[in-house]
Structure 1
Amino acid sequence: MTDPIPVAVPRKGRPLEAVLERIAAVSDDDRLDRLADSVSNTLRYEKAVTKGAVDADGGPYERLAEYSDPETPAEPEFTLLRDDRSGKPRRIVFDAATVDLGDVTVKLVGREEPFRALRTHEFALGFDSADLVLEEVVGIRAAGLGNISDINDRIDPVDTDVRVVTGLGDTVYHTLMGREDDRAPGAAFDREYLADYEGPLCISPRYERLVTAVLGTDALDGVEFVYPDANEEEEAAIARVGLGVYLTVTGSTAREHGLSVGEHLFPSETVLMRNAAERDESVPRVLRALEREAADSEIRV
């Protein structure tokens, strides 16, 4: 029996759920549907515990022992990490699961930063947010980046061997939005508006490089990045500043703050990546197993 092929995955959150949904979708095994539901429900509960929204029955070690069965490879394993929140509470996150995908067996291995694990050649394959690729290795140019399928063209091969293969379709958007009373009649908050705009643009500090890559340096001429105050909601900060970029699904909260939701500047999506320098024969087999007929992603790589 050959060893399972390791694939790096996020430990928690929307990207991990997207991976589990894809694994279940490409298999006829109902067990993988149950695996996806079980892991997602467990992590949502643990997130609520960490945030203080619910009181847990028992301590973290008791819950961890209840969730994990290391002696049964087919069952998921979880682990305990320190969360970044105030007080550094302990949080239970995904650790590993072994899944059969037809003629190939894959071991999903949780990593805090799967993209970086691929960059250091710990894995040949992995899943992570496309945002992290933009934040770390996509080149900054005068023109902006509008299509996620163009990411690979902007990766300097000297920086990394990692390339995007495909997306999983769990798309939300980095969206331009501004105060309705600041917008001229008939104008729209879009790239053309930004090209003529000078002044503050409110963004999350972690997205400075991403927003620069998406908009391009020409559009940002005369624009100053500003950031939300401590404990200030992003939508409230944008309403205070007048214009900003925020990762949004429906935009309903933005409208509650008197903001007009403008152009979807760039899709944020979980992506399957490979390290092109890793040429093991197992890699194409895993990629074929993960393919899906339904073109549900905006990525066309």
Structure 2
Amino acid sequence: MEPVTVAVPRKGRPLEAVLDRLAGHPDAQRVADDVTETLRREKAVTKGNATAAANVYDRLADYSDPDDPYRPDYTLLRDDREGKPRRIVFDSLTLDVAGVPVRLVGREEPFRALRKHEFALGFDSADLVLEEVVGLRGEPLATIADVNERIDPQDTDVRVVTGIGDTVYHTLMGDADALDADAFDRAFLDAYEGPLCISPRYERLVEAVVGLEALAGVEFVYPAEGEEEEAAIADVGLGVYLTVTGSTAREHGLALGERLFPSETVLMENASEVDEMAENAEALERVRESVATGVETELPVA
């Protein structure tokens, strides 16, 4: 059987979540864990938090096994940190998923690769879908399940199929004493006028999940370069940022408010490319079902 090719991120939490979800067999799990540990170690080296005995090219040769598709392969990428160091990132790996060979291929932006019809299936953060193609309206977008309804079919053939359960949240937070607030929720934001601190990459996402009507009188401001988001929000008084436990926000004196929107890694498909793979329809369906089965996700399987 020819492998089903799937686009995945080259690094970070979404890639780790995909590997963990797909590596159901013990042998596959060991390989997936190896990839995760390798990339975490390389991230520490790139950030200057660890040192490596060998140079980056020797490490790359040691990690990769391009002759065996069931062993991981890696590649080099220029990191955006000072000095633009070369960073080792994921390139490819084949795993058996529900009896189907699935070839995971690393892409910097899997969602955009699907939009360009390079793949039929791919995993990426739901955030990127909102940032790229979801229409902005007066009313808020509250759930991932509503994302497809807001995608203009004239803009892209890509749709979200299901989430994989690695959910964190875009959360409203603020300085309760400075703003004399009992609670930070959508009602508070509707009545609020003033600065709202967000990461600049989330501007369109926040517009979608808060709604344009609630943002009347609100001015977006952003953290300074290198400044921690929670620290910047504490200086401004009110903001939106991703939270898992919220401990960092609390350390900066911020009260956590309403969870405005879930951030989750999602399986996506390009409908026109799926149609072109009609002979592999059964294999594609088995992969979809395997991803969705037993997952507590904000998005039910389509």
C-alpha distance in 1, partners of 2:31/2:268? Answer: 23
Aligned to 2:131: 135
- Residue 247 of structure 1 pairs with residue 246 of structure 2: no
Please name the residue that 2:3 is paired with. Answer: 4
Identity within the alignment, %: 67
* Aligned counterpart, 1:84: 80
Over 3 Å counting, the alpha-carbon distance change for 1:192 and 1:48 in structure 2 is same
Kindly indicate whether the alpha-carbon contact (under 8 Å) linking 1:148 and 1:298 is maintained by their aligned counterparts in 2. Answer: yes
1:157-182 CA deviation, whole Å, 9 max, x = no partner?
Answer: 01100000000100111100000213
SS in 2 for 1:63: helix
- Relative to the length of structure 2, the TM-score reads 0.95
Partner of 1:19: 18
Match of 1:298 in 2: 298
The partner residue of 1:174 within 145, 170, 177 is 170
TM-fit CA distance, 1:288: 2.1
2:180 counterpart residue number: 184
The 2-side partners of 1:44 and 1:165 are apart by: 28
**1:134-213 correspondence runs (5 A):** 134-184=130-180, 187-213=182-208
Taking the aligned partners of 1:98 and 1:236, their CA distance within structure 2 comes to 42
Q: Which residue in the other structure is 1:236 paired with?
A: 231
Equivalent-residue separation in structure 2 for 1:158 and 1:242 (angstroms)? 40
Superposition deviation, residue 105 in structure 1 = 1.1
Q: Is the 8 A contact 1:202 1:237 kept in 2?
A: yes
Which deviates more, 216-225 or 284-293?
Answer: 284-293
**Mapped partners of 1:50, 1:215: distance in 2:** 36
Q: Which runs of 4+ in 1 moved over 6 A?
A: none
Residue number in structure 2 paired with 1:49: 45
- Letter of the structure 2 residue corresponding to residue 145 of structure 1: L
Sort the Cα spacing of 1:182 and 1:169 in 2 relative to 1 into closer, same or farther, 3 A: same
- In the alignment, is residue 227 of structure 1 matched against residue 226 of structure 2? no
TM-score (normalizing by structure 1): 0.95
How big is the shift at 1:111? 0.4
Shift, 1:283, TM fit: 4.7
Q: Which secondary structure does the structure 2 equivalent of 1:285 belong to?
A: helix
Deviation at 1:57, TM superposition (A): 1.3
- Residue identity matched to 1:46: E
| 2:283 partner letter | R
Give unpaired runs (5+ residues) of structure 2: none
| 1:97-116 to 2 correspondences below 5 Å | 97-116=93-112
Q: Distance in 1 between matches of 2:103 and 2:139?
A: 40
Contact 2:119 2:270 in 1 (8 A): yes
User: Residues 160 and 267 of structure 2 are in contact (CA less than 8 Å); yes or no, is this contact kept in structure 1?
Assistant: yes
Q: Is the 8 A contact 2:23 2:95 kept in 1?
A: no
Cα offsets for 1:102-124 (capped at 9, x unmatched): 43211100000000000000000
Report SS of the residue matched to 2:272.
Answer: coil
Q: Distance in 2 between matches of 1:266 and 1:3?
A: 38
Once residues 65 and 206 of structure 1 are traced to their aligned partners in structure 2, the CA distance between those partners, rounded to angstroms, is 34
How far apart, CA to CA, are the structure 2 residues paired with 1:115 and 1:283? Answer: 21
C-alpha distance in 2, partners of 1:79/1:103?
28
Higher mean C-alpha deviation, range 153-162 or range 176-185? 176-185
Unaligned runs of 5+ in 1: none
Report the count of equivalent residues: 296
Equivalent runs, 1:252-267 vs 2, <5 Å: 252-267=247-262
Following the alignment from structure 1 to structure 2, what is the Cα–Cα distance between the partners of residues 217 and 123?
33
Contact (CA 8 Å) 1:125, 1:283: kept in 2 or not? no
2 CA distance for matches of 1:299 and 1:102? 21
Of the structure 1 ranges 216-225 and 96-105, higher mean CA displacement relative to structure 2 is found in: 96-105
Q: Given the alignment of the two structures, is residue 125 of structure 1 paired with residue 124 of structure 2, yes or no?
A: no
Distance 2:189 2:152 in 1: 27
For 1:207 and 1:104, how far apart are their aligned partners in 2? 36
The equivalent position to 1:272 in structure 2, one of 267, 270, 280, is 267
Structure holding more helix per residue: 2
